[in-house]
Chains A and B, each alone.
Chain A
Amino acid sequence: DAGVIQSPRHEVTEMGQEVTLRCKPISGHDYLFWYRQTMMRGLELLIYFNNNVPIDDSGMPEDRFSAKMPNASFSTLKIQPSEPRDSAVYFCASSFGRNTGELFFGEGSRLTVL
């Protein structure tokens, strides 16, 4: 079975541009999580969904960040406008059954904002 699939793997953009990161969770998983990883702050939870419904978005840093999950097999994380401090690796993860179960992570999207 395919794991969690994220795209793009790498994105370099200029400050002020819109960035859209995409995630396809493992089929059958009912929880989806977006994390951001930096050296300074480690892995930070941004938002998570249960059955496509956002449950907790308290980790979303600002209104510039938004996330959607239009169906069980697709989610997006959008940053508009992007800033250099948004540079990080963004991970999508999914799990089944409960939000404390094993998380299956994608390979991440490395974002660089110049």
Chain B
Amino acid sequence: TQLLEQSPQFLSIQEGENLTVYCNSSSVFSSLQWYRQEPGEGPVLLVTVVTGGEVKKLKRLTFQFGDARKDSSLHITAAQPGDTGLYLCAGVENSGYALNFGKGTSLLVTP
């Protein structure tokens, strides 16, 4: 059983479109992180959210942590081909010690 469920698994859109990807769990997390991974490379941290209800913006990317700290979303406005990659959410349970990752959402943005 996956601790963190991400949806959709795959997403293919055209440049300029908006999209939202989700990260859900039945567990409560002390913090959640979002990473982006490009082919042949390791994941790179985008953002960390720690407070329930928190919203963070990184240029065209908006991250939200659910009020109950069980879920998170990533919204991309006006997607660009450079946004293509695997988006991974990762969290530490309140009772845990190390990061657990979801399987990720594979995003393809075509010109």
Contacts and interface: CB of A to CB of B under 8 A. Distances in A.
B101 interface: yes
A102 interface: yes
Contact of B103 (A4, A42, A48): A42
Contacts of B99: 33, 45, 99-100, 103
A25 interface: no
Contacts of B42: 4, 91, 93, 105-108
A56 interface: yes
Contacts, number: 57
A41 B30 CA distance: 23
Contact of A45 (B30, B48, B98): B98
A114 interface: no
A55 interface: yes
Contacts of B2: 42
Interface residues of B, number: 23
Given A42-B104, A43-B88, A102 B45 contact: yes
Nearest to A33: B98
Contact of A100 (B35, B43, B88, B92): B92
The size bracket of the interface on A is 20 to 34
Given A100-B31, A100-B92, A45 B45 contact: no
B44 interface: yes
Interface of B: 2, 30-31, 33, 35, 40-45, 48, 88, 90, 92, 97-104
27 contacts: A4-B42, A33-B99, A42-B101, A43-B104, A44-B101, A45-B98, A45-B101, A48-B98, A55-B97, A55-B98, A56-B98, A91-B43, A93-B42, A99-B97, A99-B99, A100-B30, A100-B31, A102-B45, A103-B43, A103-B45, A103-B90, A103-B99, A105-B43, A106-B42, A107-B40, A107-B42, A108-B40
